[in-house]
Amino acid sequence: MSKNNTPSYVGHRQRIREKFASSGLDSFLDHETLELLLTYAVARKDTKPIAWALLKNFGSFSAVLDADPAQLAAIEGVGPHTALFLKLIRAVFKKYSMDEVKESVTIRTPQQVLEYCKASLAGKKEECLEVIYLSVRNTVMGSQIVASGLIDRVAVSPRKIVECALAAKASALILVHNHPSGDATPSREDVALTQDVIRAAALFGISVHDHIIVGKGAHYSLKANGEI
């Protein structure tokens, strides 16, 4: 403590908040970003050692936000309240990304939805298939995870996907799914499912614009690679 009995971390909290207020996160290292976030969830405690413990345990800033709440809460100094706060940050990022996509006038290229795809599925531990629904003008109407399963496969029928698209009153759709293994390269099953969905959707006048696969720090667009 200082001479006036004020804990040293109190000044550090203020300094790191002022640094963000003046220059944003561009100059922040990962542990500093976590320290800043933790100041809003952890009261009367130095957040630096907690931030370092999280990074040491999970390996990266993004891995911390992607971690299971129970795993986060097990780290000394975190607990259920702070774990929920960190999951909220991740959820807010996903919602922000979807709003950005919805504000686009039209959706025609993978790049326009890629950030949302990463925010939605990149951190999931099991394989999930999400469908982004588009209007006749290619504006985003919404999205839905239609299947989740084991890490090495997703069991879903083209019929179910088309039924969900019809229920959403979609005129077109984009398929998105993740590969928890990290490799975004599509399997033969991925390509076959895409072709099956294209054929089934066409019977109802619904177009399939793309199938985007998200891996660890990588993505693969079947359309961009000439497979649609």
Residues 176-180, mean pLDDT to the nearest whole number: 86
Residues 147-176, mean pLDDT to the nearest whole number: 83
Residue 24 within a domain:
yes
pLDDT given at position 58: 93
pLDDT given at position 153: 52
Categorize the per-residue pLDDT at 94 as very low, low, confident or very high, splitting at 50, 70 and 90.
confident
Residue 136 within a domain:
yes
Residue, of 36 and 96, whose pLDDT is higher: 36
Residues 91-117, mean pLDDT to the nearest whole number: 66
Residue 31 within a domain:
yes
The reply to whether 79 and 121 lie within a common domain is: no
In sequence order, the 6+-apart residues with CB closer than 8 A to the CB of 139 are 102, 104, 105, 106, 107
Write the pLDDT tens digit of every residue in 22-42.
888 888 999 999 999 999 998
The reply to whether 56 and 162 lie within a common domain is: no
The reply to whether 80 and 131 lie within a common domain is: no
CB 107 within 8 A of CB 138: yes
Q: How many helices (H) and strands (E) does the chain have?
A: 9, 5
pLDDT given at position 102: 59
Residue 64 within a domain:
yes
Residue, of 125 and 111, whose pLDDT is higher: 125
The reply to whether 152 and 204 lie within a common domain is: yes
Write the pLDDT tens digit of every residue in 47-87.
999 999 999 999 999 889 988 899 999 999 999 999 999 99
pLDDT above 70 for 105: no
Residues 149-177, mean pLDDT to the nearest whole number: 83
Categorize the per-residue pLDDT at 167 as very low, low, confident or very high, splitting at 50, 70 and 90.
very high
Please provide the distance, in angstroms rounded to a whole number, between the alpha carbons at the two ends of the chain.
64
Residue 78 within a domain:
yes
Q: What strands lie across the sheet with 128-134, from one edge to the other?
A: 140-148, 128-134, 172-178, 207-214, 219-221
pLDDT above 60 for 134: yes
User: How many structural domains comprise the chain?
Assistant: 2
Which among 94, 129, 159 is the end of a domain?
Answer: 94
For the chain, percent of residues with pLDDT exceeding 90:
38
The reply to whether 155 and 87 lie within a common domain is: no
What is the residue range of 26's domain? 8-94
Residues 89-111, mean pLDDT to the nearest whole number: 68
CB 161 within 8 A of CB 145: no
